[in-house]
Amino acid sequence: MASSLTKDSASTSGSEKTFFGHPRGLATLFLTEMWERFSYYGMRALLPLYLIAPNGLHMNPATATAIYSVYVSLVYLLAMPGGWFGDRVWGPRKTVAVAGVVIMIGHLALALPTQGTFFVGLGLVAIGSGLLKSNISTMVGQLYDGPDDPRRDGGFTIFYMGINVGAFAAPLVIGTVGESVNWHLGFALAAAGMALGLVQFLLGTRHLNERSLVVPKPLSAAERTSTLRKGMIWMAVAAVFYIITVVTGVYTLNWILVPITVAGLIIPIVVLARIKRDKELSAAEQSKMSGYIWFFVAAAIFWMIYDQGGSTLAIFADSSADNTVFGWEFPVSWYQSVNPVLIMALAPVFAAFWLALNRRGKEPSTIVKFSSGLVLVGASFFLFLAPLMIATDGHKAAAMWLVAIYFVQTVAELTLSPVGLSVTTKMAPAKYASQMMGVWFLAVTAGDCTTGLLSIAGVDLNGTGIVALQAALAVAAGAAIFMYRGKVKKLMGDVH
């Protein structure tokens, strides 16, 4: 990466190194995020396949999908307390360093060939990812001179490219080793990736803004004691409860999965209700929150379908797809590289397209983009019906069917996800400005927990009926937002 560093012509000393014209610390955070995403997406690509493999945990597809969905939902659910730790306890820099260690230990636990350590590892990776997710983005922002720094948006664009570079490479490396050589060696490679990211982060911290060491709103001594006491009480209650279920012989995996999925649906409702009922909000802020709930529910439906690309579609590919190109067979996990490479290819095209339409005064509104994303993700599952119907009586569906589904879902993501992030920041009440990004992540949690509950209930998510139902739900939600766009626009107030 040294070749990417250039001399900053704007530097007064003429010797300060930059990263593509941005602060040198961006290289540190770019590489940290790249390696963390490499470890995360590599493990995630292997996860459902390992769970159903005869030489893995040999679970049924419904249980594998439930575990996968609960795991992904936890990562996003824990982003909120992760941000809280950065704001109140350790500060962003220390929180990211601790997160890297926790993630690395989690992947090492996954590499051990026992079921108990495997689930401990999943929990540790989810906790570490939650701690890292919010705080590393905060540190990127701290590299610049406030929100009006003209380099800021470009810096975040480069940073998010690191996510997709890591996500693209991970299935090709970790997936290949895990599927073709040894599952646990694949998980060990994920640990090695996080270790590389952690080492270069610690070596490069001198290039970060000093504010990343500061705890913005440190807990008082009384708050720290109270928080610790409450945390210990809840941990003790949970420990006693699960010890009793194990000792009495009634424990099953659902004793873990069901509470998490239910919590993943209840917590977003409670958080939104608490913000909506806050009497300190102005009438305009109350209206915007009412409008935001429309977007939140629609986003939950979107992520419910979209995130099945790593579970439902992967399991289908493993059992019912002809995973070959020109007669050459490739690992199933490679499908998970399709989305990030398409993101890298199409994101600049979309950005230029919206800009061109804007110059002509024809750029679609936020509501139209959002509804289009929902319709498109629904269309991807209508498209999924074709390979499902082909793969009967021993036939295999062509790999390009799955590539086409991932393509449509990527277009849907580029239409909806950036808009969702933008509208979240624009419609956030001033009092909750720093918390609303965590609220947006809760839409992912709610969507994945819905998938998890369906799987726990024994629903075959690779069945044509349930696939068609989900597709119809997404299209209907998109159509509803479009039909009621006047009402939603009115609730949005001055946000356009």
Q: What is the pLDDT along the chain (496 residues), one digit of tens a residue?
A: 433 444 343 333 344 677 878 899 999 999 999 999 999 999 999 999 999 999 999 999 999 999 999 999 999 999 889 988 988 899 999 999 999 999 999 999 999 989 989 999 999 999 999 999 888 988 998 898 876 778 877 888 888 888 999 999 999 999 999 999 999 999 999 999 999 999 999 999 999 999 999 998 899 999 999 999 999 999 999 999 999 999 999 988 899 999 999 999 999 999 999 999 888 888 888 888 888 998 999 999 999 999 999 999 999 999 999 999 888 999 999 999 999 999 999 988 988 898 898 899 988 888 899 899 999 999 999 999 999 999 988 899 999 999 999 999 999 999 998 888 778 878 888 888 767 878 888 999 999 999 999 999 999 999 999 999 999 999 999 999 899 878 877 877 766 5
Output the six-digit token pair for 184: 């646990």
Are 452 and 74 contacting, i.e. CB atoms less than 8 angstroms apart?
no
DSSP 171: I
| Distance (Å, whole) CA 334 – CA 403 | 11
In what helix (H) or strand (E) does residue 317 lie, and over which residues does it extend?
A: helix 312-320
| Residue 132 burial (C-beta neighbours within 10 Å; 0-12, 13-18, 19+) | buried
Closest CA to 45 of 161, 137, 155, 177: 177
Strand partners for 328: 325
How far is residue 255's CA from residue 186's CA, in Å, rounded to a whole number? Answer: 29
How many residues comprise the chain?
496
Identify the CA nearest to 181 among candidates 309, 46, 310, 61.
Answer: 46
Q: Is 6 helix (H, G, I), strand (E, B) or coil?
A: strand
Q: How far is CA 43 from CA 173, 183, 248, 437, in A?
A: 11, 10, 34, 25
- CB-based contact 51:68 (threshold 8 Å): yes
Give dist(CA 91, CA 28) in Å, integer: 17
- Distance of CA 188 to CAs 100, 191, 193, 214, 360, Å? 15, 5, 9, 34, 52
Rounded to an integer, what distance in angstroms lies between the CA atom of residue 119 and that of residue 97?
A: 23
112 closest CA partner among 195, 183, 17, 178: 183
Say whether pTM exceeds 0.85. Answer: yes
What span, in angstroms and rounded, lies between the C-alpha atoms of 204 and 21? 17
User: Which residue matches tokens 């810096």?
Assistant: 155
Q: What SS3 state is found at 19? A: strand
